[in-house]
Chain A
Amino acid sequence: MGEIDNGTVDLSSMDEVFEQYSEEQGALIPILQKAQNTYGWLPGDVLELIAERLGVSPGQVYGVATFYAQFYLEEQGRHILKLCDGTACHVRGTPILVTAMEDGMNIRPGETSEDGELTMEIVYCLGSCALAPVAVLDEQVMGRMRPQMIVRRVEKHIASAKKATEA
């Protein structure tokens, strides 16, 4: 487990979340989910604030946040590529997609590129098995991916997003 990154975030956005879940039993997980929706990840300050407001130890909050794959304790890239390595995708070629990304974009599973543009994750089953192998780039599902296509699609996606922000 790495060090907890505190980041610099505006904690006031959390007030609304605490308000919403003040009555609910077992609300820690939904609160973490909302926090991550707000910040894109879970900075240490936010985890501490949650512990304080729920009256539990920071250890308990950290324990839950690290248990579930959905929660990020590090800042993520501007774009996220999820490569599905569920069984159906695995037998239809996800490993070779990983190789293509490693070779073509110099990024390994679980890493964020140095320029902060892309995070690549391996996930187990997105439930679109009939379209295997499947990759999800931000919200866009890309079915029947081939190694020749994936690098091109990702590069294009990043480039057009950059262009859009510049414009």
Chain B
Amino acid sequence: MHTTLPFPNEADPTVNDPQHKCIAVCMGTGCTSSQSAQLHQTLREELDEHNLNGEIEVRRTGCFGFCEQGPIVVVSPGETFYTEVKPRSAETIVEQHVLGNQPVERLLYHDPTSDATVEKWHEIGFYGKQQRILLDNSGIIDPENIGHYLAREGYQALHQVLSEMTPEQVIEEVTESGLRGRGGAGFPTGVKWGFARKTQKWPKYVICNADEGDPGAFMDRSVLEGDPHAVIEGMIIAGFAIGAQAGYIYCRAEYPLAIKRLRVALEQTRELGLLGDNILGSDFSFDITIKEGAGAFVCGEETALMASIQGERGQPWPRPPYPAVSGLWKQPSNVNNVKSYAFVPRIIHKGAEWFSSVGTEGSPGTAVFALTGNVNRTGLIEVPMGITLREIIYDVGGGIPGGKKFKAVQTGGPLGGCLPEEYLDIPVDFDSLQEAGSVMGSGGMVIADEATCMVEFAKFFTKFVCDESCGKCPPCRIGSTRMLEALERITEGEGTPEDLDEIYWLADGMQQGSLCALGQLAPAPVISTLRHFEDEYRAHIEEERCPAGKCQALITFEIVADLCPGCMVCARNCASNAISGEKGEPHVIDPELCERCGLCEAVCNFDAVIVK
């Protein structure tokens, strides 16, 4: 069903025209970290020099997802995909590609897995198994131009909702679609909205949880940066559905670009009457305020988040009552993740049936992951639910770099789990991952290769939880500290078999006794690694050996004389003066002086330093 918005001229249809002359430059956080803003400027200057600026658009877009290869530039017509483009390459792109019609060979993506050079965006293996229905605007539109979003059928869903639907019908449609909360827990979104609608108390609040704190995760950031209007539209629809007039976006302060784009987008929506009093001439009024977080992981928990909006320490409250009954300022509140809201306009506009036709029966739609760690192609990906882990790691991610072997895939961040090789063929959906002892989480997916010590990995997550525990309830505060101590003993070669019993006992207490998900799920990385990599724990305890060669107390470094050309780099970098040798002669490490920091191994250009 197509409806017309009262400002048809605001839409900028060039965004849908494949023949439109455009140089798209990625302005996500990853690419801007590698000077894409400067690149954008230089491209404009180059075009100016040839008097082409009016003819060819240089567009700032959101994330293309292939962050590893950034900055990304796509030249249209033709969707020629350039990678790692430095500002100094702007001249070549303009002169050779734009003026000379010849693609710039050296900037094209070279696929290390197939050894082929790929020219077109959608022919790159990274995108092959992806299905972009949430990220369909990212990399296409200028997120600071509402005209682009409107041309991509943006705010059609809101118009449809306000002109033809009752709040109950909206909730029905979202429930029907089977959308499950993308923050990690997977609770059905429509059902949650229904609870908030039922509570007879006003005012009510719509809250967007954009406090993406999982280390190794940047999905929500990319959605906010690349398609902010989708999140805003989803929130307005949620406000209409539950009967709220005010919304909050609680965003990490570490995401300044996302916050800036949201502010721009909110201003544009207010100007067009899509936000504020009597939206699109209806009797529904709604507005949104941005709240910046102040650096506390626990604020990703919904009750802690609301405490933080109220200006308090971000400490969780016991539930029930649930936020739908008593949330922000003790009023009914609906808290959803960024991606959940961004899915809503698409579901309303294209229908529940369309959404549930993608993915699996129990987990409809797609999953967005930040694929990172020891994998060839890192970045932001969107895949249909039900795809296997193997397809994600090997087909999308291109496998493990450096000829190393795969060891584990970690999902769900510090509250998630690790799965080994034998689980790579299970389907990725909320229920299958949980059955296997891991979780879907919000979308962080970190790949660990054989050089990763799983005990050290578990210790890393436990340290994180120790630092981030809010301290309110003892099972989490004390349990995580005691668990970290046990893991430290094991990695230092002082562990005993009783330490493993203690870890299980602590985990049980934390799971059952903690107030919020942070404490309840904090043992998951430890328990899942114990379950799948117990041998590695036992090697540390019984043989005082770290099989991956990572735990400092259990390893020694040696220089292989045949490989060492005597370049002296290691000796210069060694803080404990443990390395000796003449220039041009093989060097030697004195094990008595060596503090096993591993710096020599990291700086050696000849792989001559080995771990014993």
Asked whether B221 lies within 8 Å of A33 as measured between CB atoms, the reply is no
A91 close to B (CB within 8 Å): yes
A142 nearest CB neighbor, chain B only: B33
B113 close to A (CB within 8 Å): no
Asked whether A125 lies within 8 Å of B217 as measured between CB atoms, the reply is yes
Asked whether B573 lies within 8 Å of A67 as measured between CB atoms, the reply is no
Asked whether B294 lies within 8 Å of A86 as measured between CB atoms, the reply is no
B444 close to A (CB within 8 Å): yes
How distant is the Cα of A5 from the Cα of B460 in the complex, in angstroms?
33
Proximity bits, A71-92, B CB within 8 Å = 1, else 0:
1000000000000011111111
- Interface positions, chain B 439-467, Cβ under 8 Å from A, are 444, 446, 448, 452, 457, 460-461, 464, 467
Asked whether A70 lies within 8 Å of B216 as measured between CB atoms, the reply is no
B218 nearest CB neighbor, chain A only: A127
Contacts of A134 in B (CB 8 A): 33
Asked whether A127 lies within 8 Å of B29 as measured between CB atoms, the reply is yes
Proximity bits, B585-612, A CB within 8 Å = 1, else 0:
0000000000001110011000000000
How distant is the Cα of A161 from the Cα of B333 in the complex, in angstroms?
48
How distant is the Cα of A90 from the Cα of B410 in the complex, in angstroms?
13
Q: Which of B132-140, B267-275, B355-363, B369-377 sits within the interface?
A: B369-377
How distant is the Cα of A124 from the Cα of B467 in the complex, in angstroms?
10
User: Size of chain A's interface in residues, with CB distance under 8 A?
Assistant: 47
- Interface positions, chain A 48-96, Cβ under 8 Å from B, are 63-64, 67-71, 85-93, 95-96
Q: How far is the CB of B459 from chain A (nearest CB, A)?
A: 11
Asked whether B215 lies within 8 Å of A87 as measured between CB atoms, the reply is yes
29 A–B pairs (Cβ distance < 8 Å), ordered by A: A25-B311, A26-B311, A28-B312, A29-B291, A30-B292, A64-B311, A67-B470, A68-B295, A69-B295, A87-B215, A87-B414, A87-B444, A88-B373, A88-B378, A91-B446, A96-B598, A96-B599, A96-B602, A103-B599, A124-B215, A125-B217, A127-B212, A127-B254, A127-B255, A128-B29, A128-B33, A130-B68, A131-B70, A132-B373
- Interface positions, chain A 99-114, Cβ under 8 Å from B, are 99-100, 102-104
Asked whether B410 lies within 8 Å of A87 as measured between CB atoms, the reply is yes
How distant is the Cα of A90 from the Cα of B309 in the complex, in angstroms?
31
How distant is the Cα of A67 from the Cα of B329 in the complex, in angstroms?
20
With known contacts A64-B312, A147-B599, A147-B603, A125–B573 Cβ distance under 8 A: no
How distant is the Cα of A145 from the Cα of B598 in the complex, in angstroms?
16
- Interface positions, chain A 1-42, Cβ under 8 Å from B, are 25-30, 32-33
B308 nearest CB neighbor, chain A only: A29
B90 close to A (CB within 8 Å): no
B313 close to A (CB within 8 Å): yes
How distant is the Cα of A86 from the Cα of B597 in the complex, in angstroms?
20
B199 close to A (CB within 8 Å): no
Asked whether A148 lies within 8 Å of B603 as measured between CB atoms, the reply is yes
Asked whether A67 lies within 8 Å of B33 as measured between CB atoms, the reply is no
A96 nearest CB neighbor, chain B only: B602
Q: How far is the CB of B606 from chain A (nearest CB, A)?
A: 14
B185 close to A (CB within 8 Å): no
Asked whether A87 lies within 8 Å of B216 as measured between CB atoms, the reply is yes
Asked whether B448 lies within 8 Å of A91 as measured between CB atoms, the reply is yes
Interchain CB contact (< 8 A) of B67 among A90, A126, A131: A131
How distant is the Cα of A126 from the Cα of B452 in the complex, in angstroms?
22
With known contacts A91-B448, A103-B597, A125–B214 Cβ distance under 8 A: yes
Given contact pairs A87-B372, A124-B297, A147-B603, a sample of 18 additional A-B residue pairs in the complex whose CB atoms are under 8 Å apart = A25-B311, A86-B216, A87-B214, A87-B215, A87-B444, A87-B461, A88-B215, A88-B378, A89-B215, A90-B215, A103-B574, A126-B29, A127-B217, A129-B217, A129-B218, A130-B378, A143-B34, A146-B603
Contacts of A87 in B (CB 8 A): 214-216, 372-373, 410, 413-414, 444, 446, 460-461
A159 close to B (CB within 8 Å): no
Q: How far is the CB of A145 from chain B (nearest CB, A)?
A: 11
- Interface positions, chain B 240-259, Cβ under 8 Å from A, are 253-255
B296 close to A (CB within 8 Å): yes
Q: How far is the CB of A121 from chain B (nearest CB, A)?
A: 11
Q: How far is the CB of A7 from chain B (nearest CB, A)?
A: 20
With known contacts A124-B215, A134-B33, A91–B452 Cβ distance under 8 A: yes
A151 nearest CB neighbor, chain B only: B573
Asked whether A103 lies within 8 Å of B292 as measured between CB atoms, the reply is no
How distant is the Cα of A123 from the Cα of B252 in the complex, in angstroms?
13
Contacts of B228 in A (CB 8 A): none
Q: How far is the CB of A95 from chain B (nearest CB, A)?
A: 8
Contacts of B309 in A (CB 8 A): 26
Asked whether A29 lies within 8 Å of B311 as measured between CB atoms, the reply is yes
How distant is the Cα of A28 from the Cα of B31 in the complex, in angstroms?
34
Interchain CB contact (< 8 A) of A148 among B33, B291, B446, B573: B573
B30 close to A (CB within 8 Å): yes
Asked whether B313 lies within 8 Å of A67 as measured between CB atoms, the reply is yes
How distant is the Cα of A65 from the Cα of B573 in the complex, in angstroms?
39
B314 close to A (CB within 8 Å): yes
Asked whether B372 lies within 8 Å of A88 as measured between CB atoms, the reply is yes
A143 nearest CB neighbor, chain B only: B33
Contacts of A125 in B (CB 8 A): 213-218, 254
How distant is the Cα of A25 from the Cα of B291 in the complex, in angstroms?
12
With known contacts A93-B602, A148-B573, A128–B448 Cβ distance under 8 A: no
Contacts of B561 in A (CB 8 A): none
Q: How far is the CB of B314 from chain A (nearest CB, A)?
A: 6
Asked whether B253 lies within 8 Å of A33 as measured between CB atoms, the reply is yes
Q: How far is the CB of B36 from chain A (nearest CB, A)?
A: 11
